[in-house]
Structure 1
Amino acid sequence: MHDGLRFAIYDKTGSFRCQLEGVDATADLAPNAVPTATFTLDDDRKELADITANGARCGVWFRGKERFRGIIQETPGDGPYGKVTAHVRGDIRKLWHWQGRPVPSAGLGDQTSDYRVHSGPSETVFKDAVAENLLRLGVPWSVAPSLGRGTATVASLRFHPLADKLLPGLDADHLIVALSYDGPNVLVDVRQAKTVPGVLTIASGIPEGYKYERSGPTATRVVVGGRGEGVDREFVEFRDEALEADWGDIIEGFKDARNTEEGADLTIDAREALAEGRPKSGISTTLNETDRFQYGTTYTEGDLVTVRVGPIQRAQPISVSITETAGEGVVVTPRIGNVEDDTTDALARDIARLARGIRDTGRR
């Protein structure tokens, strides 16, 4: 049985067409991010008719399990007698394609509320908001019942991409979006990240070279501004006195919560702002697979692994890259944190953060 990457090709209705294995291929999987894969074929393969059809879809399998499914977004090639490379993007991408409307049950001309505000455990907020807008869109997607996992959070939607407002709450609680398939039907659920037993150190042979960072707090007390204007606006202050005592420092911050409903609990916004301003530490490193540390057996993407290097010991979620070539065979590279070879990755994250802020501002 082939133990590498395998690709099941479907048409736009979800009907199976063909499958491929033993080709040069890559896959990248990270929690609550769009998974991607590529595979390359000679340009005379008969399967290319299915792969290049409009709306063609692909299930990406590895070690006996479908890891994700999505659309074949691009198929660039060269010739004559050349190669075609298929680029697959996972279906979680739809959370960036679909918006949360203020009144999902009404037409565009009847959006009579400024925002649709969801509050509760992060899993419930995510599932309620997604379910409302799936109904509006009329797509063959459904949402599993919420188990009420996660901490209290608030999401305010006004034509925002669902991912912008809903995924941060899941990330904070280590809840991972999971999609399952029955033909064209998609079920949206979340799973709780598992913690890999033990602590990985350089002596274990699993972490390679690493980077770590440690920074102090950027806010120890926060003023939250609620609804209202001018002197009539509601302001409430919240303090993390234990953090101030620990660092011997006072740092004031401000949180704009004018889009909350009248009488809303502003402590939720305050906790979010204080959490963003807490001291930070993190480790970035690639990991080595061993017999005791294997993708699909010991861990999967999003699971937490505790690594101790330098002065830092921290549990962080795992992402994974998989490559398969005729020369090297199958190589699995787990990683934690943001491993940056240059400033490009950091710049990309900053641009993404800025884009979310611009989208937020443009919808008010």
Structure 2
Amino acid sequence: MVDLLTMDDVVDIRVYDKTLGFQNVISDVDYYSFFPRLNAQGHAEISIPADASINRLLRTKGTRLSCRFRGEHLMSGLLRSRQGKFLTRGGPTVYQLQDDWRLLVNTPALVRPDAPLEATSLDLPGQAWQTGAAVSGTTAGQYGYYLWPAGVDTAEAAIKHLIQVNLVDWLHRPITIAPNQDRGGDARTAGMLPDIRFQPVAEAVQELLTWSGLVLTVGQHWDAPTIVVDVHEPYEWTQVITPESTIISDGGWSQNPPDATGVIVMGAGEDAARAFIQIRDTELEDEYGDIIIVTKDATGGKIPWPDDLADDRKVPKYFPLRADVPAADKAEFLRYLTAAGAGALADGAETSSLSLDIGESETFRFMGEHGVQLGDYITASSENDDDDQAPGITITDRIEEATVSLSSEGLPSATPVLGKRSDDPDRNLWDAIDGVDSALRNSLRKR
């Protein structure tokens, strides 16, 4: 058993009820392990001694924890599981915590957050937008994806807007969203505003986070009963980590050429009517002396045909060429196809990555004053100045996750991970499952 209050307040775990009201402080534990992750679902495990009176409180439905490490917010969220030995009197209880990123995972992004899910009359579109002339009882002039409002252009604005309209306006979750500062680049102009149709909010904002490089934080701080949502730009450290620094405990590196240098985007239409565009990265092709063309289905784009157009004239490949189609509609159609192509190129981009478990030293540590944070960029090099015949590798990557736990001496320790783990079978399995789930959701939500 470790008394947390004797550890210079390095770790501080506070208990809140389901309404985010403060209840108590956890003062002793058998062990704990926190696993915060960059722009992803983190979790924690905490074991409390059997004779600790706080167990009664922790077993209450809806109990939450908010945890600090070295004076900074580490993780907050709901206790999702409680486990103990039934036949062992006095055995400890082990609590599983899911961090507040789960709010984004567990909330679908609606097509119309401001409208009922069901159509309440023949003249109301329900979960669709009426963008053209309406015909009662039909889907004429309706659009089945979220329409981004004017003024929501940057990655930060889009991320916060999605969370606002779905989690706050629709579900009234106790969330405070920090003011938008329009960081992360112009996602609208770049064609990176995602097509929204009932995928989890976490999945929708992930596209924007990956493109922009922003770090999204979701957590309950101690100064108010609210969950604060904000983004920040990552910091790039100038200190280069080398084997001689003695803080690298394990890991490896990889470099892979692109899997795609060009994309044929296959839009709406059947057979000869189908619309196509091509996107090529000729600089990348010149750099590698290689050409790799892939195809990408993109059939969900909006095609608002003129109302009086005969059906045999509604040919998708001619839509951008028709004089009777407004320029804005043509631009939106091409934007959708271009964004799909850009996404396919990004999926097949050249990659270089590190996966390093990094220890701590007097000059390098996780969190706290002058410490590295999730999302920070770190450069690691295996270069050896004494051996010019064996050139090393230098790669810059991000702090993707960390482990904060009790050491064998009963003191808190932290191990940040540079890059994504490639040697963790459980992580690889769950990432693969997440990928399959995402692909299945994308195919179903287009129906």
- Whether TM-score is above 0.5 comes out as yes
> Using a 3 Å threshold, how does the CA distance of structure 1 residues 180 and 41 change in structure 2: closer, same or farther?
closer
Counterpart check, 1:300 vs 2:373: yes
Offset of 1:328 from its aligned partner? 4.2
> Aligned partner of 2:297: which letter?
D
Tell me, what secondary structure is at the counterpart of 2:193? strand
Can you list the C-alpha shifts for 1:150-170, whole angstroms capped at 9, x where unaligned?
A: 242121121111111211321
8 Å CA contact retained: 1:4, 1:324: no
Distance 2:219 2:424 in 1: 36
Moved more, 8-17 or 206-215: 206-215
Match status 1:334 vs 2:441 = no
Structure 1 residue 163 corresponds to structure 2 residue 202? yes
C-alpha separation between the residues in 1 aligned to 2:341 and 2:378?
29
Which range is displaced more, 88-97 or 300-309?
A: 300-309
TM, length-normalised to structure 2: 0.76
Greater mean alpha carbon deviation, residues 112-121 or residues 239-248? 112-121
Alignment partners' CA distance in 1, 2:57 and 2:147: 43
Tell me how far apart the structure 1 counterparts of residues 98 and 426 of structure 2 sit (CA, whole Å): 21
The reply to whether residue 317 of structure 1 matches residue 317 of structure 2 is no
Matches of 2:426 and 2:36, distance apart in 1:
19
The aligned length equals 364
Among 280, 300, 305, the residue aligned to 2:351: 280
Q: In structure 1, how many angstroms separate the alpha carbons of the residues matched to 2:224 and 2:83?
A: 27
Name the residue aligned to 2:146.
116
Amino acid at match of 1:40: S
CA RMSD for the aligned pairs?
2.0
Aligned residue type for 1:331: S
Larger Rg: 2
SS in 2 for 1:156: coil
- Where does residue 228 of structure 2 map in the other structure? 187
In structure 1, the partner of 2:41 is 34
Residue type of the alignment partner of 2:180? S
The Cα offsets for residues 248-282 of structure 1, whole Å up to 9 and x where unpaired, read as 11111122232233432133332222222121111
- 1:260 paired to 2:276: no
Residue 73 of structure 2 corresponds to residue 66 of structure 1: yes
Identity across aligned pairs (percent)? Answer: 27
Find out whether 1:105 has 2:114 as its counterpart.
yes
Counterpart of 1:349, as a letter, is D
Higher strand share: 1
Shift of residue 315, structure 1, vs aligned partner: 1.9
Q: Verify the 8 A CA contact 1:55 1:72 in the aligned structure 2.
A: yes
Partner amino acid, structure 1, of 2:284: L
Give the match for residue 12 of structure 2: 6
- In structure 2, the CA distance between the partners of 1:165 and 1:309, relative to structure 1 (3 Å rule), is farther
CA contact (8 A) 2:218 2:229 kept: yes
For residues 299 and 164 of structure 2, what CA distance do their matches in structure 1 show?
26
Aligned counterparts of 2:204 and 2:27: Cα–Cα separation in 1: 38
Query: Which stretch of structure 1 is more off in the superposition, 181-190 or 41-50?
Result: 181-190
Higher mean alpha-carbon deviation, 140-149 vs 88-97, is at: 140-149
CA–CA distance in structure 2, aligned partners of residues 183 and 89 of structure 1: 20
Give the distance between the partners of 1:70 and 1:133, measured in 2 at CA: 19
Paired letter, 2:231:
V
SS of residue matched to 2:277: strand
Q: What is the TM-score with the length of structure 1 in the denominator?
A: 0.93
Q: 1:342 to 1:60 in 2, by over 3 A?
A: closer
Asked whether the 8 Å contact 2:100–2:219 carries over to 1, the reply is no
Amino acid at match of 1:159: F
For 1:54, the equivalent position in structure 2 comes to 61
Counterpart CA distance in 1 for 2:245 and 2:358 is: 11
Deviation for aligned residue 1:237:
0.5
In 2, the alpha carbon distance for the partners of 1:136 and 1:74 equals: 28
Structure 2 portions without partners, runs of 5+: 1-6, 119-125, 129-142, 304-329, 384-391
Distance across 1 between alignment mates of 2:181 and 2:195: 21
Residue number in structure 2 paired with 1:137: 171
The corresponding residue for 2:290 is: 249
**8 Å Cα contact 2:268/2:298 also seen in 1:** yes
Structure 2 CA distance for partners of 1:325 and 1:301, relative to 1, 3 Å? same
The answer on whether the counterparts of 2:77 and 2:219 sit within 8 Å (CA) in structure 1 is: no
Measured in 2, the distance between the counterparts of 1:245 and 1:326 equals 54
Answer yes or no: is 1:347 the counterpart of 2:347: no
